Amino acid sequence: MAGKKKNIIYKTDEEVELIRKNCLMVSEALTLVASIIGPGVSGKKIDEQAEQLIRDNGAIPGFKGLYGFPATLCVSVNEEVVHGIPYNHEFKDGDIVSVDCGVYLNDYYGDAAYTFCIGDVDEKVMELCRVTKASLYKGIEQAVVGKRVGDIGFAIQNYTERQHRYGVVRELVGHGVGRALHEGPEVPNYGRRGKGMVMKDGLVIAIEPMINLGKKDVKSFEDGTVITKDNMPSAHYEHTVVVRKDKADILSNHGPIEAAILKNPNLKEVIDILAVSA
């Protein structure tokens, strides 16, 4: 989230493990979503199920009540970019549904997101999802000690905007994760190589490309939902990672989500073109 400058707080190994636990619970909630989502299922239904799972695990939905958001999941369909509210409206064949989830437990947050492709999704939109997901890993590759935050944004922008001619959303960015859901630094999905803060060991950040099939411009509804100005679809994938030497440690896990997608006949799989999904 863009806004005033927030504190940058490096995490101890113990804190990283608390955040990892939360991120894995987010992954569990998104895996449950992957197993039940399909045509005729509503945002409200997946939201209730995710909330139940999180509360059964003794945790608190991280988004509920934050900035006035009323639900456990942000559910953003097609031209909705992020911050969609789960309503009773049912998903239909051909929809792409971005589901973002946060968990709060032991004074720390965890954050991850995945875009699900329901039924017969247009091949152009499938490609948008594949490229957006791949761009997440291109960003994560840069999240190592000694690199700069701009290296992450450059990698994502270069791949999605320059190579694939998609629109990179500017108004919303990745962020530090810790005792607050949104800590510093801001982690934009655009940027210049070698610019921005130098990353040190123990920096925990959420990297979350929001990529539009059409132009980069977005607008907001009164309820907070962000949508593309040209009404073209938008995809969103997110991991929380900790910056380490040589290679970031990915604290969330898309692996079980993707295993559940393969088992759900209502979903089209977003093939991992980089085959690096943890």
Q: State the residues that interact with Mg ion by CB under 5 A.
A: 100, 111, 113, 206, 238
Helix (H) or strand (E) holding 117: strand 108-118
In the complex with Mg ion, the residue whose CB is nearer, 199 or 210, is 210
In the complex with Mg ion, the residue whose CB is nearer, 4 or 165, is 4
In the complex with Mg ion, the residue whose CB is nearer, 63 or 154, is 63
* Helices 149-157 and 123-141: angle between axes, nearest 10 degrees: 160
Q: How far is the CB of 267 from Mg ion (least distance, A)?
A: 20
Q: How far is the CB of 133 from Mg ion (least distance, A)?
A: 15
List Cα–Cα distances, 230 to 71, 79, 167, 213, 258, in angstroms. Answer: 27, 8, 11, 10, 30
In the complex with Mg ion, the residue whose CB is nearer, 183 or 258, is 183
Q: How far is CA 250 from its chain centroid?
A: 13
In the complex with Mg ion, the residue whose CB is nearer, 33 or 206, is 206
In the complex with Mg ion, the residue whose CB is nearer, 102 or 245, is 102
Q: Cβ(257)–Cβ(120) under 8 Å? A: no
Q: How far is the CB of 176 from Mg ion (least distance, A)?
A: 10
Distance linking the first and last C-alpha atoms of the chain: 25
Q: Cβ(16)–Cβ(174) under 8 Å? A: no
What 3-state class would DSSP assign to 278?
coil
Task: Give Cβ neighbours of residue 99 (< 8 Å, ≥ 6 apart).
Answer: 30, 33, 37, 46, 73, 74, 75, 76, 113, 114, 115, 116
What 3-state class would DSSP assign to 116?
strand
In the complex with Mg ion, the residue whose CB is nearer, 113 or 126, is 113
Sign of CA dihedral 58, 76, 31, 109: negative
Q: How far is the CB of 117 from Mg ion (least distance, A)?
A: 19
Q: How far is the CB of 2 from Mg ion (least distance, A)?
A: 13
Q: How far is the CB of 70 from Mg ion (least distance, A)?
A: 16
**Distance between CA 59 and CA 25 in Å, rounded?**
9
Q: How far is the CB of 265 from Mg ion (least distance, A)?
A: 27
